[in-house]
Amino acid sequence: MNVSKSSPKVDPTTDPKLRAFFHVAEDSPFSVQNLPYGVFRKKEDTLRTARIGVAIGDKVLDLAALDAFGQFTGPNLKGKKVFSAQSLNAFIAMGRPAWREARLTISALLTSPDSELRNDTFLQQRALIDMTACEMMLPVEVGDYTDFYASRHHATNVGTMLRGAENALNPNWLHLPVGYHGRSSSVVLSGADIVRPCGQIVPPGSETPIFAPSRSLDYELEVGIVVGPGNALGEPVPVERAVGQVFGMVLLNDWSARDIQKWEYQPLGPFLGKNFATTISPWVVPIDALIPFCCAGPEQDPEPLPYLQTRGKASFDIHLEAHLYPHDGSDALLACATNYNHLYWNVAQMIAHHTSNGCNLRAGDLLGTGTVSGPEKESRGCLLERTWKGEEPLELSSGAKRTYLEDGDLLTLTGWCQGEGYRVGFGECAGRILPARISH
């Protein structure tokens, strides 16, 4: 399956020559070819509830205001007032015809020489808001969250540390996209502080556990897939139609307490070592904006079973980075630079496998790719790999060493697709570590 077949061959909203009627810097993540959706409210507006907007350059385009001024006149959106909602869920549930109608309208308003937004100063004042004046909210109400383990490089590195190189991959790994069901209630927005978790850990040299704050707190550089509109219970999504279930993508940091996880994961997998926090970026990049950056993923050998077989360009060329800002004031450290296209299992396969037993996905559900790691040391997407279980610590500009995250450290994720003279970016996904809270 070629992912690009899920969208029209000619998409006017992704034309590289398009430019907004006001200046947008070439290195801005929020080009007019992007148009990511988010939920915001003006900081000074304490009475008005949150609503849906689109990021464009350094501004937020208020879709609820545009709707109030009669700018959405198509059959799927007129009179629905869907952009006045406090989450994207209702819009996502409307499906691709509504998504497409909205994107075409927004693109035309920002680029057409005859658009009312370009020529009506009053409408501009109501609908275009400086991003610095806005407070962002969680873009979706996440009903369910599933985290996959889709990077062969990551799985091989972790397996080598745990079981040795000869048994690095479990027997099932090359036959299906491994995943586990996560905790949606602890999905938080970029900028939220992360409290160091407590749990049972086994200190070095001991055979019995203690209850204590995690000593091996890690990040995981991932991409999150926002699902919509979903499938009925008992009705699998065929792999050739799976990309049609993707509304868009966000950056995702699935924080991990490695010492808690190491003790508890057998035999049922992640629990308290993972469910304390998952951070996502505030802007959902729509799938249409990513289609021009389709590319081939790694060769899959052995060939997957027929229900998982895809053809053509089934991955995306998304550059991803993780930056560590140490609490001691040392210079920021580029902890990882990798690419989404290293993932062995693609998004169509994740969705097809997830629903193959009849499991129903719902609008706003979140799927994590798992840690995105590449073949080089610098492209390993978490500290467990980057420092090889602490044996090869990172050196800060102050001369201090770092194996895992310390209290006060700030970790940020960024990512973008690079076009000709423009970017389709995700913004920032950030969190600062706070000390543990121990109850007695």
Query: How far is the CA of 401 from the CAs of 126, 337, 396, in angstroms?
Result: 50, 20, 6
Strands (E), 95-192: 128-130, 134-137, 145-148, 179-181, 187-189
H helix intervals, 186-325: 258-264, 287-290
Active-site annotation holder among 153, 154, 342, 354: 154
Per-residue burial over 378-417, b = 16 or more CB atoms within 10 Å of its CB, e = otherwise: ebbbbbbbbbbbeeeeeebeeeeebbbbbeebbbbbbbbb
- Read off φ and ψ for residue 262, nearest 5 degrees: -60, -35
**What is the H or E stretch that residue 161 is in?**
helix 152-163
Running DSSP on this structure, what letter comes out for residue 386?
H
175 in Cβ contact with 188 (< 8 Å): no
CA-CA distance, 384 to 247, in Å (whole number)? 31
Rounded Cα–Cα distance for residues 374 and 115 (Å): 44
Q: Measured between alpha carbons, how far is 48 from 45 in angstroms, rounded to an integer?
A: 6
Q: Report the distance separating Cα 405 and Cα 220, nearest Å.
A: 12
Q: Is 154 a catalytic residue?
A: yes
* Nearest in space to 389 (alpha carbons), one of 269, 262, 254, 252: 262
What is the pairing mode between strands 194-195 and 423-434?
A: parallel
- For residue 159, the tally of other CB atoms under 10 A from its CB is 17
Q: Which amino acid is at 283?
A: W
Most distant pair of Cα atoms in the chain: their distance: 73
Q: How many residues does the chain have?
A: 440
Alpha helices per DSSP H over 293-378: 347-355
Euclidean distance between the first and final Cα of the chain, in Å? 56
Q: Active-site residue numbers? A: 154
